[in-house]
Structure 1
Amino acid sequence: MRQFSADYLETTREGMWSDSREALADLELDSRERVLDVGCGTGELTRVLAEESGGEVVGADVDPELLSVASEFAPVVRADATRLPFAADAFDLVVCQALLINLPDPVGAVREFARASSDLVAAVEPDNGAVTVDSTVDAEPPLARRARERFLDGVETDVTLGAGARDLFEDAGLEVVSTRRYDHERVVSPPYSEAAVEAARRKVTGEGLADDRETILSGETSAGEYDDLRSAWRAMGRDVVDQMGDETYVRTETVPFFVTVGRAD
């Protein structure tokens, strides 16, 4: 399973659910007695569950550093998603966010969630293949799409499964209750945050693509094609920095998430 830093998780989930929680309606959170958030990371969804639920919410993750952050919102337990340290039917809702896309056996994980739940299982998963970027730097949207396609080609897990999670739930033996879509928008605009400035710096240096080099080259991208992409990426980054200096740079990234709810036997 891929590992993520606390800074990465907090930055990529910043503002998620702050605009609307309608897509979570079928979780019936106000009637839940015990909720488990598996792969809770730094607790972005855990906090929402705790705010919306009338019952106890518990976060679970394999990374103790991430759990130390999530513990601000709810009790936490160190646990593997495929081997939860809880008795059968210990919760009436087991949920995860952006977890199944990183697991080699997502069906097995959903079966384990169903074992631990007496009622509902829910997955909030993105379709990373359908991410869109709009930018005042003309070169950024096509380059972002190109880089994403190259990266996804080298990833071993299905990071696009959000839209097809219904089939995954059915394969795990769950009755699908519903699927709702939630679009998470991340906007960069003046005044620029420290995170936005750092992201621009990493574009100029090519550090972001360098971090993903091994994954990209695991697909069909050649070393020469990667170098060409990184060169174009750095040039685009210089345009981003120039526009930020003029306070004219605006970037909107939209990530579609799908909330799939199933009923355990």
Structure 2
Amino acid sequence: MRKFSPEYLRRTREGMWDDSRDALQDLSLPDRSRVLDVGCGTGELSRVLDAETPGEVVCLDADPELLRVAREAADLPTVVGDATRLPFPDDTFDLVVCQALLVNLPRPTDAIESFTRASSDLVAAVEPDNAAVGVDSTVSAEVALERSVRESYMAGVQTDVALGDRLPDIFESVGLCDVRTRRYFHRKLIEPPYDDAALEDAARKANGTGLAAHETELRRTLSDDEYDALRRDWREMGRTVVEQMQDERYRRAEVVPFDVVVGRVPE
């Protein structure tokens, strides 16, 4: 399982579900009495669940530091635990759900089996399809570079970061029934006036920090010369982003598709 910083989770999940929660309809949140958010990270989905259900929401993550941030932000009960070996008796919850977790696990089926044991009713997963991410930018080099980095990263990462339409098959393979799927598009727009997060992201491009966060995965598929060239081009692109921001000309739009898959535990 890869580890992520609170800052990374904030950048990638900021604004999710603010525009629409229609894709969560099959979770039947108004009818839930006890919900477990597995791999909750800093609690972005936990807060949405808490707002939409009258029941109790419990946050679980393997990283105590992320749980501390989630607890401070949402004031919900937190538990340190492994997604593949949930520390709860059978049927403790009537919904066990995760967001952007399975794409980081080497064996996502193990997690869904654990979810199924701990739930008396529904199991759900909200997972990004990273192969279908769309980016548009006023810096033309950014579009091509991000596509190149994404393809190399997906080839070098050791988990399936584009589960996509394979999720329903995983649900059915562990015995879940009435499996339903909806798609949610997480749209992120950067335009003037720029907030602190946008300025920080631009600085991370210009100094190469953002790319370096994925160096291990990229070097699995790129030679040293290829990685060095990519890093050089990436930083040059970042400097152009900063320059356009100074003139308030920079605009960037990104769309990340998420599959929301829900299955029912058989009686």
Give TM-score scaled by structure 2 length.
Answer: 0.96
Partners of 1:3 and 1:24 in 2: CA distance: 26
- Determine the structure 1 residue equivalent to 2:4: 4
Partner of 1:251: 252
CA distance in 2 between partners of 1:230 and 1:253 (Å)? 21
Q: Please give the residue correspondences for 1:49-198 in structure 2 after superposition, counting only pairs within 5 Å.
A: 49-71=49-71, 72-73=73-74, 74-198=76-200
1:2·1:102 contact (CA, 8 Å) conserved in 2? yes
* Equivalences, count: 264
Structure 2 contact 183–260 (Cα < 8 Å) conserved: yes
Q: CA deviation at 1:134?
A: 0.6
Q: Structure 2: how far apart are the matches of 1:242 and 1:53?
A: 45
Helix, strand or coil: the match of 1:179? strand
Using the alignment, how far apart are the partners of 2:264 and 2:12 within structure 1? Answer: 29
CA apart distance, 1:46: 0.3
What RMSD, in angstroms, separates the aligned Cα atoms of the two structures? 1.1
Q: CA deviation at 1:75?
A: 1.0
Look up the match of 1:238.
239
Matches of 1:161 and 1:184 in 2, distance apart? 16
Q: Which amino acid aligns with 2:228?
A: D
Q: Secondary structure at the match of 1:255?
A: strand
Equivalent pair of 1:176/1:260 in contact (CA under 8 Å)? no
Contact map agreement 2:171 2:179 (CA 8 A) in 1 = no
Percent identity, aligned pairs only, is 61
For 1:139, what is the secondary structure of its paired residue? helix
- How many angstroms apart in 2 are the aligned matches of 1:87 and 1:21? 30
Deviation at 1:176, TM superposition (A): 4.1
Tell me, which stretches of 5 or more residues in structure 2 are unaligned? none
* Deviation digits for residues 182-203 of structure 1 (CA, Å, limit 9, x no counterpart): 0001111111122211211121
- Which amino acid in the other structure matches residue 41 of structure 1? G
Q: TM-score, normalization: structure 1? A: 0.97
**One-letter identity of the residue aligned with 2:243:** D
**Partners in 2 of 1:234 and 1:256 — Cα distance?**
27
Question: How far off is 1:45 after superposition?
Answer: 0.3
d(CA) in 2 for partners of 1:164 and 1:246? Answer: 44
Moved over 3 A (4+): none
Q: Is the 8 A contact 1:169 1:176 kept in 2?
A: no
What secondary structure is seen at the aligned counterpart in 2 of 1:259?
Answer: strand
Residue 66 (structure 1) shift? 0.9
Query: The residue matched to 2:124 in structure 1 has which SS?
Result: strand
